[in-house]
Amino acid sequence: GNQQRGEVNILLMGAHNVGKTALTVRFLTRRFIGEYGDMESVYSRMERIHGQEICINIWDSQKGCWVSEKQLQWADGMILVYDICDRGSFEAVRQQLQLIRRSRKPASCPVVIVANKRDLQHRRRVSGEEGRLLALTQCCCFFEVSAAETYHGVLLVFHRMVDLVRETRALR
Ligand code: GDP
């Protein structure tokens, strides 16, 4: 399976417009591209992490809140994104966590919560504490980033996700 091949499948979820595509493009190309067409497919990138070649597959679930059972089962780990300026997108993450946990337990599927658009402080509607608290109570990791401003923060998110997947596998 994936484990032997050194592959990690990451499902990206979140409401519309939170920056899922921006994060994916940032990670894949190191660039920020403001607008793009409707993309929904799997992207791959080889990364050397802790001396091992790992193929990272990213499924950007463009259709917002709705994800299929197929996507849920495909994933080794999930990244749930919200926009700090959009409370609705934060509530969507809460709901998606419930949905995920119905079929995937923390021990089999780690989740990272990402608060995006931290460059837009003046329009903030969700505090860092709220995000951190949600992550804490749901056994998730938490990051606040700006896909628009920095590559490094986005890279940390994906690397942490890969590390969590590897830890999960080691425990099985
Ligand atoms: P998606 O629907 O979740 O894939 O969201 P997109 O990646 O298409 O981003 C939605 C909009 O937010 C676009 O206009 C992006 O340029 C913008 N955007 C994405 N990330 C950021 C960010 O970190 N900061 C700011 N200011 N804008 C962002």
Atom of ligand 1 nearest to the CA of 14: 3
CB of 17 sitting under 6 A from ligand 1: yes
- CA–chain centroid gap for 9, Å, is 11
| Closest ligand 1 atom to Cα of 15 | 3
Q: What is the pLDDT of residues 128-159, one digit of tens each?
A: 999 999 999 999 999 999 999 988 999 999 99
- Give residue 109 CA to ligand 1 midpoint distance, Å: 26
In terms of Cα–Cα distance, which of 94, 7, 118, 105 is closest to 53?
7
Q: State how far the Cα of 108 lies from the Cα of 126, in Å rounded to an integer.
A: 29
- ipTM of the predicted structure? 0.99
Residues with Cβ within 8 Å of residue 159, at least 6 apart in sequence: 47, 49
Question: pLDDT tens digit string along 101-132?
Answer: 998 988 889 999 999 999 999 999 999 999 99
The rounded distance, in Å, linking the Cα atoms of 49 and 130 is 31
18 lines ligand 1 (CB under 6 A): yes
Separation of alpha carbons 141 and 153, rounded Å = 14
Pocket of ligand 1 contains residue 79 by CB under 6 Å: no
Residue type, 150: T
pLDDT of residue 33: 55
Residue type, 111: V
- Ligand 1 pocket, 116 CB below 6 A? yes
